[in-house]
Structure formats: C-alpha cells, structure tokens
Amino acid sequence: MKDITIDKIQIDAAKKIGADYFLLIQSLFDKKMVLEMDELIEYGHKNGVKVIVEAHTSEEFENACKTNADIVGINNRNLDTLKIDLNTTKKILEKSNSSKIIISESGIESKEDIRFLHKCGARGYLVGTAIMKNENIEQTVRGLVNSI
C-alpha cells in the first residue's frame, strides 16, 4: 500500500485489502510525528504486514536503517521540489554499509537506469510512470526485469 502511513488505522486497512507492505516516510518522523515510527513498524509486523521506510537524504537513510523496517527505499524524487535525480541513490549508497534490502524509487525509465542503480548497490526498483506511459506494458516490464 503506497499511501503515506501515519496512523495504525491505515495499517489495519492495508491488512484488510491484502497489502504485503505499507510505506513510512522517514522525513515525517524525523519531524516528530505524534506516533513514533517504531510503534507503527511493530504494529504492522504484529499484524502480518511488512514495512518499507523511504528516505531521500543520507541522514534520513541512516535513520531508516536503524529501524526494524523490512526494506529501505531511497526516493530519487525530492518531495519538497519534486526534482528527480538518480544520483541520489548513488550518493547515499556510497556512504552506506547497511545490510538492509535497499530499493531505489522514482525516475527509473530504462534498462540503463536499472543497471546504473544496481551498480550503486540498490537491489530493488520501484518503477511506475515509465511502465504506465508505455503502450506495451508487458514488454516494458519484461525488459526492465531482464536488464541485470
């Protein structure tokens, strides 16, 4: 469930609709949300739903890696400016030695992008717009999946 989760009721909804994961945005919790991120992660796990914590900066990424999140995502889109830069993943992972599963999110449009991000250390890729803009979705997905 890709909604921005800030409350347990959303985790209940995720479970009810059969979602495998729900999304937490690290920057929201760095700004002291009412509920602590750890509490939401624990609640999700207790209810059988896994967690992706999304970061955009090195500091957010380090904080996300300290949680019990199942996956840490690096968003290549700056949510303040909406500017996309795949080098965000590269810059963050150059300084990381995390054992977490790391995915790169946003701005991924081609096999070359997947190869670049894989070399940077990402092991999963969230692709949306590039697939939906294509007339042959199956062929596009197959090409991206088989790029590494």
Domains in the chain, CATH or no CATH each: 8-106 (3.20.20.70)
Helical segments of the chain, H only: 8-17, 26-30, 37-46, 58-65, 87-94, 111-120, 129-132, 137-145
- Mean pLDDT of all residues in the chain? 93
Please enumerate in sequence order all residues whose Cβ is within 8 A of that of 6, keeping only pairs 6 or more positions apart, or say none.
Answer: 28, 33, 35
Segment holding 72, helix H or strand E:
strand 71-75
DSSP SS3 for 83: coil
17 has a pLDDT exceeding 90: yes
Token representation of residue 46: 């207790």
Check residue 98 and give its pLDDT.
Answer: 86
Tens of pLDDT, residues 33-42: 546 999 999 9
- CA-based nearest residue to 67, from 96, 100, 22, 20: 100
Name the DSSP class of 25: E
Tens of pLDDT, residues 50-106: 999 999 999 999 999 999 999 999 999 998 999 999 999 999 999 888 899 999 999
CA distances from 112 to 90, 101, 108, 143, 146 (A): 14, 21, 9, 11, 11
24 has a pLDDT exceeding 80: yes
